[in-house]
Amino acid sequence: MRVGVLALQGAVREHRRALEKVGVESRVVKTVDDLKSLDGLVLPGGESSTMALLAEGPLLDALRRLSSSGLPMFGTCAGMILLADVVEGRLGSIIGGIDITVARNASGRQVDSFETTLSIDGVGSDVPAVFIRAPYITRLGLGVRVLARHDGVAVMARQGRILVASFHPELTEDLRVHRAFVGMIRELRGEGEPG
Ligand code: GLN
């Protein structure tokens, strides 16, 4: 299995490290060519508006095509903003693929960044999570399953082949969230959960 990590900006190295630790080959994705023959794609945190500008053109078109044609994708923080169908205050999605609305920098209203533990459906009841000027999900489409909440607000969700999280699992030593994404890819390929 080979999983790409979109490398326009942001926590690329940390995601690759986590994927490597769960036994999956990863590839840095900077061009349309790098997207060939991937089994999944991680879209890391960073600054979604910068990433949208850097990807503008053929790369963004290819990402949109892959999202709608069903490549499994996992967006963390800014990556979640890229995959949301609606971003508050913006006309149209950036990539889109999951039927949610997100508000950027939602946690910034209270504190800029914080660390907590979350209970994540199918992952664990004590998963460490780092929030950095995190987006929150403010609307959930009917087909979207919430996997975790923080203070009652949805912070992790899945719809079909798209997984999103408001937080940064790659900035902790805990590998369960990356393992869950790899498990999701295997499940979608009909290989079942890893043993
Ligand atoms: N606030 C950033 C944005 O709007 C996301 C922050 C992050 O990825 N850590 O894109």
Distinct helix (H) and strand (E) counts, the chain: 5, 12
**Has residue 111 got a pLDDT over 70?**
no
Task: Please report the beta strands in the chain, taking only residues with DSSP state E, as ranges in sequence order.
Answer: 2-6, 25-29, 40-43, 73-76, 84-87, 98-103, 113-120, 124-132, 136-140, 145-150, 153-159, 162-165
What distance separates the 2 farthest-apart alpha carbons in the chain?
43
Contact 137, 102 (CB under 8 A): yes
Atom number, ligand 1, closest to the C-alpha of residue 47 = 10
Residue nearest atom 5 in ligand 1 by C-alpha distance: 78
**Has residue 91 got a pLDDT over 80?**
yes
Q: What is the mean pLDDT of the chain?
A: 94
CA 151 / ligand 1 centre spacing (Å): 19
> Radius of gyration of the chain from Cα atoms?
15
Clarify whether 168 is annotated catalytic. yes
Up-side HSE of residue 14: CA atoms within 13 Å toward CB? 16
Q: What is the pLDDT of residue 108?
A: 55
Closest CA to 146 of 120, 128, 170, 168: 120
Q: What is the pLDDT of residue 195?
A: 46
Q: Which two tokens stand for residue 62?
A: 């290819």
Contact 129, 117 (CB under 8 A): yes
Catalytic residue among 15, 77, 150, 178: 77
The average pLDDT across 45-71 equals 95
Contact 35, 73 (CB under 8 A): no
pTM given for the model: 0.95
Ordered structural domains, the chain, with CATH: 2-188 (3.40.50.880)
Q: Which two tokens stand for residue 135?
A: 């987006």
Residues with CB under 6 A from ligand 1: 45-48, 77-78, 81, 104-105, 132-133
The average pLDDT across 8-23 equals 95
Query: How many C-beta atoms lie closer than 10 Å to residue 146's C-beta?
Result: 15
**Has residue 192 got a pLDDT over 80?**
no
Query: How many C-beta atoms lie closer than 10 Å to residue 110's C-beta?
Result: 8
CA distance 62 to 75: 16
Clarify whether 88 is annotated catalytic. no
Q: How confident is the model at residue 129 (pLDDT cuts 50, 70, 90)?
A: very high
Atom number, ligand 1, closest to the C-alpha of residue 78 = 8
